[in-house]
Amino acid sequence: GVVPPTLQASYRSDPQSMERILEDTKNLAELEASGLNGLTALQVAASLNDVETLDVLYRHGADVNARHPFAESTALHFAVEMNAVQAIESLCEHDATVDAQKIDGGQPIHIAADLCHAQALEALLSPPCSADKDAIMLGDTTPLYLGIGFEWVFFSLSFFLLSESLY
């Protein structure tokens, strides 16, 4: 399949090309186009921590909460997976749903804890994100449990101390 021009610009971290593409087309379908892997340009830019391209996409009306067709992940989930702190903060400033759940019930804060991404966790717990430190996944799993469950003692202690200092 052909990779949509917006995705090409995102993969290259090329905000100038993205601006030209979106100005030329003024086409919402191009803005939300996805490749064979299901990713949109916004999700790619978020995972690459490319805030300049994110800003172009926001200005043109990209859906900050668009869902990936397979796992129902949002751009915020992808940014957290990559520990892309600037993108996390930018997405939250543009009204990303901080408690959006993937198909498995995981919110961005669960991903940060599961992957031991302390910087992402700090960004999620702080404004503008202000995620719920006690968010429940699968009926009983909190972010702190994920950290302790995998014996990441230092991470879990850091999580506890950070979350207590913010509340």
**77-108 per-position pLDDT tens digit:** 999 999 999 999 999 999 999 999 999 889 99
pLDDT for position 27 = 66
Is there a contact between 111 and 81 (Cβ–Cβ < 8 Å)? Answer: yes
Mean pLDDT of 101-126: 90
pTM: 0.86
Exposure string for 24-62, b = 16+ CB within 10 A, e = fewer: eeeeeebbbbbbeeebbbbbbbbbbbbbebbbbbbebeb
Q: Determine the pLDDT at residue 16.
A: 97
Within 10 Å of residue 16's Cβ, how many Cβ atoms?
11
